Amino acid sequence: MCKYVAKLRLMEHGLLEAAHGVDDIHMKLASVDATEDGQYETVEEFEKRVDLYVAIHLARASSSKRDHYKNELVYQARKEVILDFLRIAISKTCQNCKA
C-alpha cells in the first residue's frame, strides 16, 4: 500500500523516473537460517524508508510543483498505477503470502 502512495505522490510532481524507482525498494525479510538480529525490518520501518525515498526526491526537485502529472507519459503511468491498485484491492488473494 505504501508503495502505491509513494508512486502517486511522486507522479503528482511529475517525477516519473523516481516513481518507477519505488518498485526497486524491497522489504528486508529474515532468511530461514539467519541467526543474527537486525537482518529484517518491520512494516513500519519499511514505510519510513519509502517515505524517506519520496522526501529526498521531492526535495531534490524543489522546482516541480503539484499537478505536474499533466504530462502525457506521467498521466498514463499514473492511470496504470491506479488501475493496478484497484485490481489488487479487489483480489481475494494476499499479494505477500498468496493465501
Which residues have a Cβ under 8 Å from the Cβ of 69 and sit 6 or more positions away?
Answer: 11, 12, 13, 14, 75, 78
Single pTM value for the model = 0.73
Q: What is the pLDDT of residues 32-51, one digit of tens each?
A: 445 455 567 888 888 999 99
Q: What is the pLDDT of residues 68-93, one digit of tens each?
A: 556 788 888 889 999 998 988 887 66
